Structure 1
C-alpha cells in the first residue's frame, strides 16, 4: 500500500515538473495600485473604468467552436452576415476554429466579412485527460503552431489571430497560458465562472492571482503578465443549474418551442443587462442550431432585438478586451468610428485530397494556397 502511494506521489511530482509548474513565479494577490489598464487588470466584477451600469456599454459575444465546413457556413450566412448594431457598425462574432475538416477558403470568407478568427487546436482530441495533462510542448504544437497554420491556409494576417479556446474548455493550467504569451496571442476564452454570474466577472490579466473560481482544473497559478482571460459567465438553465455553453444546458425549453427559447435567452441576457452589464456570452456549437431550427429562430429574434437597442453592442471577444483596456462610456462608444479590416482575398484557392499519415484517413482540404505535400498535423502543421 505504501509503495503504491509512493508511486502515485512520484507520478504527481513528475507531472508537475513536466508541465513547468516549478519554473514560473506564483501569482500574488492583485492590488489596483500596481495593476492598471491598458497593460494590467485585476479580476473584478466592476468594469475597468468604474462606470455605473447605465453608462456602461452592454457587450454581447456570440461564439462558435470547431471546424468551419460547407454545411455550417450556411447557418452562419443566414444568421450573422450583413447585420449591424444600432450604431450602424457591423455585428461581431468569434469563431474558435479547429483544424481537422476545416474549409480554409470559408474561414477566409468569414474573416473578410469582419468576423474574428481564433484558435481551437489542431487535433481537437476527444481525450480530456490529454488536454488536462498537456505539457508546454504539447500546447505549443496544438495551439502555437496552429496560429501559423490557420493564417497560412486561410490567407488571413497572422497578426489578427489573437484568441484561443481549449477543446472542452480543458486547459493544462500554467503551460497553456505560457504558450499564449510566448506565441503572441492576447487572450484565452476557456474559463467558465459559476460563482461570478450575478454580478458577472469582467476580462482580466494574469499578472496577478485571479479571484475566479475554477470549475474545470487545473487553472493558472503563475504570474503570466499580459495574458487576458475573458471569463465564460455561466447561464442558468430552467432549474437554476449553471451551463457555460448553451448546448450544455440540461433543463431547457422544448426544442420545438421558439417562443420559450427566445424568453430563455432573454432571461439570461437580462441578468447582465439589468445588472452590472458585464459581457453576455452566447457560446454554442453550430450543430445544436442545425438540429433544432426553433432554437436558431429564437437566436435570430434575439439578435434582431438587441441590435435595435442603442446601448447594446454585439461584438467579438477581442473587442471586449480592447474596450476593457481603453474604456469609454456608452454615449462615446456609440459614436465611435466603426472598425474596418483590410480584405485578404483567397486568391489562389485549391481543393486537395490527402491521406493523413497519423490515421490513414483521406481528407479533402480547401485552402487559399497551393496544396500541402502531406496532410498537415502535429509537428508538421503546414504539411511540408
Structure 2
C-alpha cells in the first residue's frame, strides 16, 4: 500500500510539472489544448491549473479567438514576476547581462567589453550582478546563469577551455563567490551553442517534432550543439559539438585552439571581415558584429568584392555542414549565432550546396537548412534563463 501511495504522489507531481511546463513553453495555451496534448482528463487539468493559480505561478489571460460556437477558451500564462534570473552572455567582444522571467521574457540590462583577463572579467561581472540584485532588492531572483563561448563543465562549474581568451581549467563558482560572498542562489553555466539550441527547441516552429539535428553557432568562432533522439547531447565532459575545430584544410591557418585549418578559420565572422578589409580597407563598425553586418549589406549591394567573400563563406559553411550531415544523419541544420543576419537566399544557397555534396541516403530524412528563431544575444540569454526556470519549476511544485 505504501508503494502505491508513493507512486500516486509521484504521478501527481509529474502531471503538475508537465502541465506547468506546457504553460511556460506555450504562453496562451488553453485547458482544452492541454487536455488534448497530455491525455489527462479535463477535471485533472482543471484541478492542476487552479492549484498553479493559487500558488501564483500562472494566471488566466484573455479568452482566445475561436471560429467555433460557444464560449471562447481562456488563455493560461506563467506569472512573469513569480521568478527572475540574472542571465549573463559572455561574448568574445561583448558581455551582456539581463533579467529573465518565468514567462520567458528577457530584459537586457547592461553590457560591457569582455576583459581578456579572467580576474578582471569576474570583478566586472560581480559589479554588474550586485547592481542588478540591489536594484531588484533580490526580489524573486532565483538564480544566475552564464553562457560562455567555450567548453564548460556544467556539473562542477569549471571553465574547461575558452580558446579566444585562453581561459583553461578555471573554477567559475569559487571565483564568483569570492567576489559576491553573500550569493546563495543556484549558479549555472553552459556553452553558448547548447543554450541557444535549447531556446530554439522550445520556440522555433521550423523544427517542431524533429528529434535529430545540428545547431551551428556562427560568431568570432564556430561552435555547435547536437540534438539526438530529442535530447541535447552534451558528451561525458560536456564538450560535444565543438564543430568549429574540425580540420577543413590540414595546412591552413593556425587557430586559437593551436590546431591548423579549423573550420572556424574559414567561416567565422572575424575571419570573413578581415579578408574583406585586407583588400578594401576598414569596414565601418566598432566591433566584428557591426563590421559583419556592414559586410552583408555591401554583399547585397554587390559593392567591391563583398559578395564574392560572403559567397566563399557560405561555401565553407556548406562544406562543414555536409561533413556533419554525412556523419550524423540529422533532420535539420540551424545556422545560428550571427546566421540570424543572413537573408533567406543565403539559406537557399547553402541548402543547394548541401544537396549537391551530401550522401544521397542522408538526404532522405534531411528536412532543411534553416535560420534561427532568435538573434545571437537573445538565444543565449533565453537558454540561460530556461536552465534556471526549469530547476525553479521542479522545486516550486514539491
TM-score of the two chains, using structure 1 as the length reference: 0.27
Looking at both structures, which has the greater relative contact order when contacts are Cα pairs under 8 Å and sequence separation is at least 6?
Answer: 1
Higher-helix-fraction structure: 2
Compute the TM-score of the two structures, normalised by the length of structure 2: 0.26
Name the structure where strand makes up a greater proportion of residues. 2
Structure of greater Rg? 2
